[in-house]
Every structure is written in C-alpha cells, then in structure tokens.
Amino acid sequence: MDKSALQIARAAYQPKVPASIKGATQLVEGKATESVADQADIKKLFPNTYGMPIVTFEKGTQALASKAINVGVILSGGQAPGGHNVISGIFDGIKAINKDSKLYGFLGGPSGLVDHKYIELTADIIDEYRNTGGFDIIGSGRTKLEEVEQFDKGIEICKKLNINAIVIIGGDDSNTNACVLAEYYLQKKCGIQVIGCPKTIDGDLKNEMIETSFGFDTATKVYSEVIGNIERDANSAKKYWHFIKLMGRSASHVTLECALQTQPNVTLIGEEVEAKKQTLDDIVTYIAQAVANRAAKGLNFGIVLVPEGLIEFIPAIKKLIAELNDMLAANQAEFDKVADDQKIDYVVKHLSKENAAIFESLPVAVSRQLALERDPHGNVQVSLIETEQLLAEMVGKKLAQWKKEGKFVGKFATQHHFFGYEGRCAAPSNFDADYCYSLGRVASLLIASGKTGYMSSVRNTTKPADQWLAGGIPITAMMNMEKRNGKMKPVIQKALVKLDGGPFKFFESKRAQWAIETAFVYPGPIQYFGPAEVADQPTKTIRLEHQ
C-alpha cells in the first residue's frame, strides 16, 4: 500500500516496553481477589475464574515456556488508537517464545470466531500495520458472545487451527464477554485460554491495576488539538460561542482531559451534574451566566465543552431514561407494532405521571430520540442526541429573556461541533504505541504462563516505559451486577470521574478563572519525534491521578 512520510517513519519506530519483560521473565502471584461489588452473585456465575490472584512479571533467569503456541485475536467494539500495536506485541511475544508459534486474526470482530472467518497474521502483514491507527488489519464488530452455541462454534475453529488461546481486545462489555468465554471453556475443559486487553477512548475502563485504557491518550490529544484550533479562531474572530460535544457516553473523562489541556471557558462534567442533582435549567443558567459575565467585559465569544452522555447524568432525566428502558424492554413487541406517529403517545401513556411530565417538557427532537433510538442493549443512544445544539438554543432563549430584563447587554452567536470519529483511528501517540505494544507482549506472557480469565495490565505509566510494571488482573475482580435490557447481568464496573480525585480537583480550582478570562491553551498536533517532555508525555489526567 502507498504510505505517507509519517507512516514510513513510524514503521521504523521501536516501541518501548517494561524492563521486566525483556528477556527472561518470571510470574509472581499476589493475593486472591474478589469482585468490586455483588461478590456472591459474581462468584456464583463464575465459579472457575472467581478469586484468582493478581499476577506480576519480574526479571527471571529463564524463559517462561518454549513450546509453540497458537493464538487467535479479536478486535471488539469501536476503534481506538493502538489496536494494531497490541496485535504486533502479541505476535512478537509468541514468536519470542517459539518461532513456530502462529497468530490468527478473526475477521470483523467476535462474529469472526463464531462464523469461522479468519486469516493467519504473518510477519509481512504485521509489519504493514506497526504503529498505525485503526482496526483495519482484521476489522472489528459488536457481536456479543453470550450464547452457548457461539462458544461451541469457537471451540470448533480453535480445535481446527490448534489455537491454545484467544485474546479479546475491547472495552468493558467486550472484556465481560471474554470472562464469560474463559469461564465456559474452563468448565468444558477444552484447553482454550482467554485473555482481555483494555481498550476504549472513553477512559472508563480503569482501576488500580488498569491505569488507563488504550487509545484515550491519543484521542484526547487529537480532540485537544482541534479544540485549541477552535479556541484560536474564537479568539481571532471574537464573535462566536462554540459548543463542543465530546465522546464519553457513560463517563466524562474525555471532556475533563480536554479541559485540562485547553482551558476552555465552560466545561460540564456529567458526574458533577449528577452529584449536585442539577436540572437542565440549572445547567443552562450556569452557561448563560458565564456568557453574560464575559459579555460585560466586551468578550462575546467563548468555548463550552459538553460530554456526550450529559443528558443521562441529569438526575430527573436519568430517572426518566431508566423507566423508559424498563418499560420498552417489557413491551418491545407491542411497541414495535405501534405506528411511528403514535409512538410518542404510547410512551407517555406507559410512563409514571412524574416521568411523563418530564418527557413532555423536553424538545420534540430530544423526546423522539429518547423513545425511538436504542442501542443493542436496549438503551438510549445518547450520541444521537445533539446536546450541544440543545444547550446552545436554550442558553440563547435565556439570554434573550435576560436582555429584555436588562440583565444581558452583549451578543450571542453560536457554532456547534461533535468530535468523536476524528480521534478513534489516529496514529497512536508514542505513549499509546508503547503502552499497546506492551499490553500485547504481556498478553503473550499470560498465555505462556497458562493463565485465563485475566486482563493484561501495565502500570506505573507516569514513569519512563522501562519502569512500567507488567502483569494481569482477573476480570472477575472488576465486575458487578447491572441492569441490561431489563435483566441483571454481570459486567465490568465503569470507572467514573472521581469528584474528589486529583484531575477534577485541579480543574475545579481553575474553572472560575478560565470562565471569565481568555486563558486558552493551544496544544497543537501530536508530536512523534523530539524530546521526551514533548513526545512521550501521558495525559494530564493520569499525571494528576498519580501525583
């Protein structure tokens, strides 16, 4: 394939890895684990993989294994920068164990395992994709591995290809599926290990052992570059308020990180909205006051950052959505038969009086999206709700009212943006290139050590890569029970923004100043070459979390 100059240069980049996994390595087991919540329920569902110890890899005197191992790899869910480096790390790892080891890629996500669609990933193929963005080496998909028939189809193809282990690269749902698969294969004693790798640009798959999910670093740097460009444009034209929605349905990590990097005037953090029990009008009033304060200084421009999932964090609307999800899950067949122009009326009639009133108070476009657009889990597709435009319109109406009352003397014109896909397949930053490659190498060591039901873990990531700590965490240790499609199911617990954590506390200490001043920072594009303080720095979030 034709390549850009950057691709050619990046192909030669050698990712940095923890010193402990260079050469001979030994596995050290720690204490037994338990799930973060609902211990009895999780233990009952996962009797074979519950309670396993956290493991770490340390310098050893001999290689872990020498026999050839065949591994199948699956990319699951949305794209995130660095996926290709996880795969190249697995490839190099199993080849280092034995040159006759083979890596197979299942095509199009988990469905490739079920439908027996695969390719052997050879050195020629791997070398084309080192340090590149995207998931196009084998493609991805959102098929959920939940049925015994699917698991058995996986056994068939693994036996045919003599595959010893499967690595599932994905987010919380995908790694939950990996744990279910690991449990089933242990129960069946079929000799197939399953290892997970933590992927999501949303940043909500993390804990003590998983300091960050891969792709978050690169994506937030891409978004921050573009936000910085818009800030500079706003500061140049001095006539628009830009409302910018950012990825992050269930947590506001992306929005907080971009705020830390770019210092916009207003940043909404969903977790804070929920904690303070704010209403939609509270949020609109907060933004309008910031606009009015800057207008009083002759500054009729600014930047507002909005997390994608903001709507679901507003307590009254969250309560409405929960009832909507349950009601539609219980009445889906009947609801599907209702004519499109009657669906809103159907919803109103089947909601409690309180939630029906809230539903009817929303703009028609929003109420339709809440009722009609559902994801595969039966939940609202919040990314389709144009929250940035909704807020801009409502702020405009409030300012118009204030102007009549003599409370606002400025001008208010808006522009709207949603940054999502722009960051998902960017060429990985040096941090993500190193981190992802290390996750792949660690996955290969977990396999060679005979482990299953584990997630690859690389920690101490605020230090230089050779000081990173490598190991694995049982996936069951991260799980709790949550309602999905009207039923309680085991899932990996999402990590939300901690309002008492370092990143939010720092932001909180600065936001009043940023709201009134033009304190914009223009990060510019990702730097792949140059001094470490420019090219190799992790996110501000992870640095503030580990100060």
Q: Which residues are catalytic?
A: 202
On whether the CB atoms of residues 98 and 66 are closer than 8 A, the answer is yes
Interhelix angle for 172-188 vs 148-161, to 10°?
Answer: 70
DSSP string, 28-60: EEEEE---SS-HHHHHHH-TTTTTPEEEEEEE-
For residue 290, what are the contacts with CB-CB under 8 A and spacing of at least 6? 265, 266, 302, 515, 516
Nearest alpha-carbon partner for 97 in 120, 73, 71, 69: 69
Beta strands in 285-436 (DSSP E): 302-307, 414-419
DSSP string, 252-275: -HHHHHHHHHH--SEE--HHHHHH
CB atoms under 10 Å from CB of 22, counted, come to 12
Nearest alpha-carbon partner for 179 in 475, 472, 440, 439: 475
| Beta partners for residue 267, in sequence order | 305
Any alpha helices (H) in 134-279, and if so which ranges? Answer: 148-161, 172-188, 216-237, 253-262, 270-275
CA separation, residue 173 to residues 249, 286, 374, 510 (Å)? 14, 35, 17, 35
**Cα dihedral: 458, 464, 466, 472 (round 10):** -10
Where residue 453 falls (left for φ over 0; alpha for ψ -120 to 50; beta otherwise) is left
Which H or E run contains 357? helix 353-361
Any alpha helices (H) in 51-134, and if so which ranges? Answer: 83-97, 110-115, 123-129
Amino acid letter, 239? K
